[in-house]
Chains A and B, each alone.
Chain A
Amino acid sequence: MDTRKGSKDPHYPLLKSSQHHDHAYFDQLRSKMRWRLTVVYLTPLLVLSVLFYFEYSRNIHEGIDNHMRSIAENQRNTIDLFLQERVSNIRSEFRDEVLPVPYSANEMKAVLGDLRRESPAFVDLGLFRPDGELVAYAGPFPDLVGKNYAQETWFRKLQSQKSRHVISDVYLGFRDKPHFSIAVRRPGKDGLWTLRASVDPEKFGEFVSSSYLFKDAEAFIVNPEGIRQTFSTRKEVAADKSLMPERTPETEVTEVSVGGREYLRALAWLTENEWALVVRVPEAKAYASLHQARLMLAGILLLAVISILFVVVRSSKKLIGRLEAADSAKETLRLQLFNAAKLASVGEMAAGVAHEINNPLAIIYEEAAMLIDILDPQFGQTVDYDEFRERLGAIKEATMRGRSITKKLMAFARKHEPDPEETDINLMIDRVLDVKKTDFSVSDIKVVREFEEGLPLLMINRNQMDQVFLNLLNNAKDAIEDDGRITVRTKRDKDWVRIEVEDTGCGMSLEVLEKIFFPFFTTKVVGKGTGLGLSISYGIVEANGGRIEVESEEGKGTNFVILLPISNM
């Protein structure tokens, strides 16, 4: 029902230009409400989620980095200890009593056996004269005996450095097989003798990588040039010096990119030689838990967003539906109230009108009866035509008096006028005051008209506005106990016409003032007032585009002000 265009239903004459809202209004309200609710609910959720995610991922990163660092350091310490042990193994064999210089092949074999019992990583054992020639050997490469190692890097280093042992990088050497050497020196008869054991890098690598950290983690040793000294499952020999940091005592955990793959790498420098231990995990594996958390968070977020949207859509639909229902219920109630009040005021008016009509009727009755009496011989009256004429004139006059009342009544009894019409407000109020004239005079109420001349015509529903003024005048009359005054003013106030109905009655307390426009609120004794007049008047004035206001002082009187718009013509 589009009430803005006015209803043709005769039961709802007031629907026209009422405050009732239509469907489009509620649709708009609904979508507005949905947007607002969504923003209000989602914003804090998203902000919190982002904050939480960053904090969580920072913590996870930190934890994993620390974990990597501590694993690398532990492993580094273990490797250091391993190498130290190997060095001291060899050193302890390189004493006069154990390995006299010169030596025998059998003795060498026995010593190698001793070493291999300590660590199976030892491959062979060789003894070098101060000039670098291998003079005694035990192991799988006996052909090496007689070769001169004077130019080998490790040999030269051992001869020149202060430390009495050296651990070489991995190299191929004369045997053409990758190995590294642990050599110790000892002063002999004609210079520094050297005992060297070579270590199988594969065996050492197994030892190095025997660390349990992450799945898919690998551990290996690199030299300062970035060349791998041990090999893991992935045979990756390519050196990348750019990835090698400066040697520091700190263990460094960084993210590096090798061959297009992102790794999380911990690098710990050994103390025993210049090598460094690298522990690395593909980044995706290292931060697998973070990845999982991210997925879970996204899932939860998605779920939350969906449920919020669901709730928002549903609740707004429900709420607006209820609002709409309440609005139409209110409208229906307003109409019912209006009709009830109309009936009530018709009842009130009927009593007043009866008085107005019964009085002239009584005159007519008495005069007619008098004429009959005159003609009745039992009263012995003489027929005087002048008296006759005079009495008949009185009857005529009384008849006209009655007619003028019914005429005024007709003005109120017009059928519904659904359309506002151009109205001279002064004339209209005059007419209403006329109806109340006798009522006021028998109550000793003086009526003062202060009308501004030449007011513009107003587009109002006369039938309805008649009722408003009748209501206000009735209230004013009831407020005045003994003789008083009702002043009705009209004047122009910018784009409005201002109508005041002021009485010198008892006035109202603030408490009463707050409630006077409520339906069924009345200060009159039970049965006298319906409590509908003012609430209906309020509705009517609003429906005619105007405002109704009230000022009152207890004991002094009340002033009702109605403002009706001029511009709506």
Chain B
Amino acid sequence: MTDNIKLLVVDDEERFLQTLTKRLSMRGFDVTPVNRGADAVKVADQQSFDLALVDLKMPGMSGEEVLEAIKEKHPDMEVVILTGHGSIDSAVECTKLGSYTYLQKPCETEELLQVLKDAYHKRVQRKLQLNEDKVNEMLNLAQGESALGILRKLRDLEKNKEK
């Protein structure tokens, strides 16, 4: 099930990043490790990821900023926070910014895997929901219309989206 999960891991602690990457890969994740916040945002723009595992306290761009940037550009991507800092304030802050959940270092492998799987499941569910919504929308559009009418409506919809 984890074979196809594309995961972006962001942490300035190099040793931790490498080992975690290796262990997650061994468990079937498609992991891209990044040790700078700004790089993470760049990589997320270039490739599509299902999930991101983000540290908070990093020099340069902080974890919160990464979270905010990713959520803004890729709202359907789930972001899990994994930090050594761990205060209630920052947890509340991250939840507000749209993180899936907030984990504290050191985190047990089982728990981490479970969270990542749940986050992925949520993403899949959301995608399915989105597809279903789209189908329903189309069905609504198509009701009582000729084929040409449907095409015209779809074109209008596209135009509206672009705007």
Q: Does A359 contact B (CB under 8 A)?
A: yes
Which of A355, A357, A391 sits near B83, CB closer than 8 Å? A355
**Complex CA distance for A117 and B23, rounded to whole angstroms:** 160
**Complex CA distance for A355 and B106, rounded to whole angstroms:** 10
Residues of A with C-beta under 8 A to B15: 363, 367, 394, 398
Whole-angstrom distance from the CB of B38 to the nearest CB of chain A? Answer: 12
Which of A365, A370, A381, A442 sits near B106, CB closer than 8 Å? A365
Q: Nearest B residue to A381 by beta-carbon distance?
A: B26
Q: Mark B79-106, 1 if CB is under 8 A from A, else 0.
A: 0000111110100000000000000111
Verify A366–B106 contact, CB threshold 8 A. yes
Given contacts A370-B22, A370-B23, A373-B23, are A362 and B60 in contact (CB under 8 A)? no
Residues of A with C-beta under 8 A to B130: none
Interface size classification for chain B: 20 to 34
Q: Does B115 contact A (CB under 8 A)?
A: no
Whole-angstrom distance from the CB of A360 to the nearest CB of chain B? Answer: 9
Q: Does A327 contact B (CB under 8 A)?
A: no
Q: Nearest A residue to B58 by beta-carbon distance?
A: A442
Q: Mark B57-95, 1 if CB is under 8 A from A, else 0.
A: 111101000000000000000000001111101000000
**Complex CA distance for A398 and B15, rounded to whole angstroms:** 10
Residues of B with C-beta under 8 A to A367: 15, 19
Which of B13, B57, B62, B109 sits near A369, CB closer than 8 Å? B109
User: Which DSSP category, helix, strand, loop or mixed, fits chain B's interface?
Assistant: loop
Verify A366–B16 contact, CB threshold 8 A. yes
Q: Does B20 contact A (CB under 8 A)?
A: yes
Which of A359, A398, A444 sits near B59, CB closer than 8 Å? A444
**Complex CA distance for A364 and B84, rounded to whole angstroms:** 13
**Complex CA distance for A441 and B57, rounded to whole angstroms:** 10
Q: Nearest A residue to B86 by beta-carbon distance?
A: A354
Interface size classification for chain A: 20 to 34
Q: Does A465 contact B (CB under 8 A)?
A: no
Q: Nearest B residue to A366 by beta-carbon distance?
A: B19
Whole-angstrom distance from the CB of A207 to the nearest CB of chain B? Answer: 117
Q: Does A385 contact B (CB under 8 A)?
A: no
Q: Does B124 contact A (CB under 8 A)?
A: no
List residues of A (525-553) whose CB comes within 8 Å of B's CBs: 527
Q: Does A410 contact B (CB under 8 A)?
A: no
Q: Does A358 contact B (CB under 8 A)?
A: yes
Verify B106–A361 contact, CB threshold 8 A. yes
Q: Does B139 contact A (CB under 8 A)?
A: no
Q: Nearest A residue to B63 by beta-carbon distance?
A: A442
Q: Which A residues contact B (CB, under 8 angstroms)?
A: 351, 354-359, 361-367, 369-370, 373, 379, 381, 391, 394, 398, 441-442, 444, 527
